[in-house]
Amino acid sequence: PHPLSSRFNSRPVAKRATNGDVPLTNYNADLWYGSIKVGTPPETYTVVFDTGSSDLCEFSQEFLPSDDCGFTCDGHKSYDPDSSSSAKDTGEPFLLTYASGQTAGEQYFDVGSVGGHKVNNQSVGAAYLYSPQFSEYDYPPDGLSGLAFREISEFEGSPLFETLSESGQLPESAMGFKLSTTPGDSKLLVGGTNTSLYRSDTLTYIPVTTQGYWEVELGSISRLGQEVDGSDDIPAIIDTGTTLVITSDSVAQSYYANISNATAHTEDGYTYWTIPCNMMNSSVPTFTLGDHSFTVSPQTFNLGPEDTNSTDCMVGIASSSEMDFTIVGDVFLQNVYAVFDYAQTRVLRVNRDGSPEPTFETEDFS
């Protein structure tokens, strides 16, 4: 080394401020994920930040008794509690079932951090079984971080964001999501909202009606200014971990009834819809939440041609016979800046760029 190098080395290094910024990676316009750290020494894992669930699950190679897991867990980084000096085994098993898959394992407590904010005693599920839906091809991140409320958690401890909030270190007890399919554009801000991504004079606050999920009242869904039958004042869950908007069969049928040649495809209890691709502009939904309406762009509503060369396109509102509420997922959330505010449990809406006719509206669910 150059003799002078030690001088530079011994210079105090400016401590990088913790600003809570977590870049998110988009996969296939399907899911968004970012990094967290868990354990001592800290290891980095990628997780989907899922406001529609409350548990932090890590896949763990430590618990790999089954052949199933041997196959489906390939490609995910594993959490090994034995290698973390701060891991504490609770001895409690868990089984979590999502719309998109299942995972089972054992609960631990460990230290962790997200966006530079540290938590000392976070419940972490070390999974010894992933269902095939969590295979690396369908699900590139390692795990999932549930950001709904502890009321719906299966775990003994609190969900990550509640643990963080209660630690008192966050400037604001809120998280701001910007989801986009443009590489480098998606981000989560832990502990506040990124004021450069929205216009503060356009905030809409939507109260959480039942604390569990981020559940709010959806005023209505409309298309071309016409309210869809049965879509008024229905409970809605604002869910970053679900790709589509999923509503009841009856609301979906009313929604598509007036779109020529809209076709229903039912599979595993879910009904997906295709419409002629050239009808996209006139087929987008407008969601009324609080005192504002948000129209989904044709780009995010369109999930692409049904098959190669097909002139029919899959679109972003699906339905399930089991649902009497609506899950408002990423097809919608890509059109807003969404703020989940634990302190005031509200939703707010903001414009991104300050132009009079915003192309990117912003919404805050808290």
Beta-carbon contacts of 262 under 8 Å, excluding residues fewer than 6 positions away, are 256, 273, 274, 275, 283
Do 245 and 316 meet the contact criterion of CB atoms below 8 Å apart?
Answer: yes
Binder among 17, 226, 356, 357 for ligand NAG (CB under 6 A): 226
- φ/ψ of residue 234, rounded to 5: -105, 150
- φ/ψ of residue 321, rounded to 5: -65, -15
From 50, 55, 330, 364, active-site residue? 50
Residue 173 CB, nearest distance to ligand NAG (Å)?
A: 16
Q: Containing H/E element for 144? A: strand 143-146
Query: Rule CB under 6 A: is residue 228 a binding residue for ligand NAG?
Result: yes
Residue 55 CB, nearest distance to ligand NAG (Å)?
A: 13
Number of Cα atoms under 13 Å in the Cβ half of residue 137:
3
Within 179-336, strands assigned E span 187-190, 210-211, 214-223, 226-227, 234-238, 245-248, 263-267, 270-276, 286-289, 292-295, 302-305, 312-315, 317-320, 326-328
Q: Is 341 a catalytic residue?
A: no
95 vs 224, beta carbon nearer ligand NAG: 224
**CA–CA distance from 348 to each of 189, 212, 240 (Å)?**
15, 19, 15
Query: Rule CB under 6 A: is residue 305 a binding residue for ligand NAG?
Result: no
189 vs 333, beta carbon nearer ligand NAG: 189
**CA–CA distance from 260 to each of 142, 257, 296 (Å)?**
42, 8, 19
Taking every pair of Cα atoms in the chain, the longest distance, rounded to a whole number of angstroms, is: 77
Radius of gyration, alpha carbons of the chain: 21
Q: Segment contacting ligand NAG (CB under 6 A): 53-61, 193-201, 329-337, 344-352?
A: 193-201
Residue 93 CB, nearest distance to ligand NAG (Å)?
A: 16
- φ/ψ of residue 5, rounded to 5: -65, -30
- In total, the chain counts a number of residues equal to 366
Could you say which residues in the range 4-23 bind ligand NAG, by CB under 6 A? 19, 21
Query: Rule CB under 6 A: is residue 40 a binding residue for ligand NAG?
Result: no
| Beta bridge partner(s), residue 253 | none
Binder among 39, 125, 157, 191 for ligand NAG (CB under 6 A): 157
Task: Please give the Cα distance from 192 to 19 (Å, whole number).
Answer: 9
Query: Rule CB under 6 A: is residue 276 a binding residue for ligand NAG?
Result: yes
Residue 300 CB, nearest distance to ligand NAG (Å)?
A: 13
Tokens 């989904």 — which residue? 296
Residue 302 CB, nearest distance to ligand NAG (Å)?
A: 10
| Beta bridge partner(s), residue 304 | 314
Sign of CA dihedral 157, 160, 162, 165: positive
Query: Rule CB under 6 A: is residue 194 a binding residue for ligand NAG?
Result: yes
Q: Are strands 117-130 and 101-114 parallel, antiparallel or unpaired?
A: antiparallel
Could you say which residues in the range 73-112 bind ligand NAG, by CB under 6 A? 109
Do 57 and 103 meet the contact criterion of CB atoms below 8 Å apart?
Answer: yes
Binder among 114, 175, 197, 245 for ligand NAG (CB under 6 A): 197
Could you say which residues in the range 115-154 bind ligand NAG, by CB under 6 A? 121
Binder among 97, 281, 299, 359 for ligand NAG (CB under 6 A): 281
Query: Rule CB under 6 A: is residue 266 a binding residue for ligand NAG?
Result: no
Residue 86 CB, nearest distance to ligand NAG (Å)?
A: 9
Q: Segment contacting ligand NAG (CB under 6 A): 2-10, 32-40, 43-51, 220-228?
A: 220-228
CA 222 to mean position of chain CA atoms: 24
Q: Is 330 a catalytic residue?
A: no
Query: Rule CB under 6 A: is residue 182 a binding residue for ligand NAG?
Result: no
From 55, 110, 142, 239, active-site residue? 239
Query: Rule CB under 6 A: is residue 309 a binding residue for ligand NAG?
Result: yes
Residue 157 CB, nearest distance to ligand NAG (Å)?
A: 4
99 vs 279, beta carbon nearer ligand NAG: 279
Q: Catalytic residue numbers?
A: 50, 239
Interacting residue ranges for ligand NAG, rule: CB under 6 A: 19, 21, 109, 121, 156-157, 189, 194, 196-197, 223-224, 226, 228, 258, 260-261, 276, 278-279, 281, 308-309
